[in-house]
Amino acid sequence: MNEKLLKIGQKLIDLGSLEIAEYEYLIDNRNEEITEFLKKEAVKKRKEVYGNTVFIRGLIEISNICKNDCLYCGIRASNKDCERYRLAKDEILSCCDEGYSLGFRTFVMQGGEDGYFTDEILVEIIGEIKKKYPDCAVTLSLGERSYASYKKLFDAGADRYLLRHETADKEHYNKLHPNKMSYENRMECLKNLKELGFQTGCGFMVGSPYQTTHNLAKDLKFIEEFSPEMCGIGPFIPHKATEFKIYKAGDVELTCFLLSVIRLIKPTILLPATTALGSAEQGGREKGILCGANVIMPNLSPHSVRKKYELYNNKLISGNESAQEIENLKNSMKNIGYEIVTDRGDIKEK
Ligand code: SAH
């Protein structure tokens, strides 16, 4: 038994807070015993807040056109092999219609940074969704925009915004992104989103190129301090048309361990078992739920475009990943003791 490890684990459970060096020690020295211990405690805390319920979000990938060139991403601007598309307003609204009848009460519009989607156009789309489905939440995941832009989207009725910070270490950030993008701006955007009143989500990839344990420890400290309502983490998975194709995929076990740690940092957090986790390993999403995650985001995009929103190789687009197969997903959750609910799924603040 490693006394130091258990002491740090207990501190995390009691306080939801560790020093960066302690997070680092925890990750580097983790073994089966501490992993199981934290997993059990994470699930306990999750159940105190959310019982055995799992929230679902209908993910609508509205455009794969992007002005950015993030080195890891399959839809980066310089990928000439990527067949580009964007959905029209009516197509997005049809996705919502279908999603609503399947039991979804949150719609997530995600996409590349596509200049077509001006504030004006987005305000109109958000307004129409809200008018038609006032009992639903609208989440946006459309990258970096100005304070004024975020404000317009919030005022139009958008409830939540997902913007992964990608890494809380500036030097690491610069290794994952071209010079044009900046760590400071990403962090500024997150701060602005929170200030405006969005339920805000940050997050990062596990095992992204050049990532060190120290970087991960800083990610955890950032989550602790920023205290986001949501946090999306999933393994990095290489994409064949990016220069990061030579790097290996992130580790599923480490991702699950970090899900438990994040649940312990903030017991009320909305924590998805991501598509990347499900894509990296069969049953990955179930594993994530069993480690403390409480959200799943099935794909509600039109079938004709799903293959084109390829952030990484072998991204799941069918099976339980597909919103249309919600019955299967319900069953697979039931099999592990959880229940998918028809609910907006807002954060339950204590
Ligand atoms: N343009 C939006 C949406 C990005 S796609 C934005 O900037 O927020 C959503 C997330 O997918 C990204 O934040 C990134 O963390 C993840 N992602 C991109 N490429 C990936 C890859 N190769 N492996 C795993 N996750 C990836």
pLDDT in tens, the chain (350 residues): 799 999 999 999 999 999 999 999 999 999 999 999 999 999 999 999 999 999 999 999 999 999 999 999 999 999 999 999 999 999 999 999 999 999 999 999 999 999 999 999 999 999 999 999 999 999 999 999 999 999 999 999 999 999 999 999 999 999 999 999 999 999 999 999 999 999 999 999 999 999 999 999 999 999 999 999 999 999 999 999 999 999 999 999 999 999 999 999 999 999 999 999 999 999 999 999 999 999 999 999 999 999 999 999 999 988 887 878 999 999 999 999 999 999 999 999 86
Q: Quick check: CB of 239 below 6 Å from ligand 1? A: yes
Q: Quick check: CB of 236 below 6 Å from ligand 1? A: yes
Task: Quote the longest CA-to-CA distance of the chain.
Answer: 59
Residue 21 CA to ligand 1 center (angstroms) comes to: 28
Q: Quick check: CB of 237 below 6 Å from ligand 1? A: yes
Which pair of tokens denotes residue 162? 């997902």
Asked if 318 contacts 328 with a C-beta cutoff of 8 angstroms, the reply is no
Residue reference for tokens 């958000």: 126
Task: Assign 335 to helix, strand or coil.
Answer: helix
Residue 297 CA to ligand 1 center (angstroms) comes to: 14
- Element containing residue 107 per DSSP (H, E): strand 106-111
DSSP codes joined into one string, 210-253: T--HHHHHHHHHHHHHH--SEEEEEE----TTSGGGGSPPPPHH
Question: Cα–Cα distance between 176 and 158 in angstroms, integer?
Answer: 29
Ligand 1 atom 25, closest CA: 236
Q: Which atom of ligand 1 is nearest to the CA of 232?
A: 15
Half-sphere exposure of 168 (CA within 13 A, CB side): 18
Asked if 138 contacts 130 with a C-beta cutoff of 8 angstroms, the reply is yes
The fold for domain 3-341 equals TIM Barrel (3.20.20)
Residue 167 CA to ligand 1 center (angstroms) comes to: 12
Whole-number pLDDT of residue 349: 83
Question: Cα–Cα distance between 15 and 18 in angstroms, integer?
Answer: 8
Question: For a pocket test of ligand 1, which of 63, 65, 71, 72 has the largest count of ligand atoms closer than 8 A to its C-beta?
Answer: 72
> What is the residue type of 123?
V
Ligand 1 atom 24, closest CA: 236
- Element containing residue 139 per DSSP (H, E): strand 137-141
Q: Quick check: CB of 143 below 6 Å from ligand 1? A: yes
Ligand 1 atom 19, closest CA: 73
Whole-number pLDDT of residue 62: 98
Question: Cα–Cα distance between 101 and 133 in angstroms, integer?
Answer: 11
Q: Quick check: CB of 223 below 6 Å from ligand 1? A: no
213-252 pLDDT, tens digit per residue, is 999 999 999 999 999 999 999 999 999 999 999 999 999 9
Q: Quick check: CB of 5 below 6 Å from ligand 1? A: no
- The dihedral region occupied by 345, where left means phi > 0, alpha psi between -120 and 50, and beta the remainder, is left
Ligand 1 atom 8, closest CA: 143
Query: Nearest-CA neighbor of 229 among 206, 208, 202?
Result: 202
Question: Cα–Cα distance between 135 and 69 in angstroms, integer?
Answer: 36
Q: Quick check: CB of 161 below 6 Å from ligand 1? A: no
- Element containing residue 339 per DSSP (H, E): strand 339-341
- Burial code (b: 16+ CB inside 10 Å, e: under 16) for 317-335 equals beebbbbebbeebbebbee
55, β-bridge pairs:
295, 341
- Element containing residue 283 per DSSP (H, E): none
Q: Quick check: CB of 312 below 6 Å from ligand 1? A: yes
Whole-number pLDDT of residue 322: 85
Task: Assign 87 to helix, strand or coil.
Answer: coil
Question: For a pocket test of ligand 1, which of 205, 210, 246 has the largest count of ligand atoms closer than 8 A to its C-beta?
Answer: 205
Q: Quick check: CB of 141 below 6 Å from ligand 1? A: yes
- Element containing residue 51 per DSSP (H, E): none
> What is the residue type of 42?
A
* Whole-model pTM over 0.85: yes
Whole-number pLDDT of residue 317: 85
What strands lie across the sheet with 58-63, from one edge to the other? 58-63, 106-111, 137-141, 160-162, 199-206, 230-235
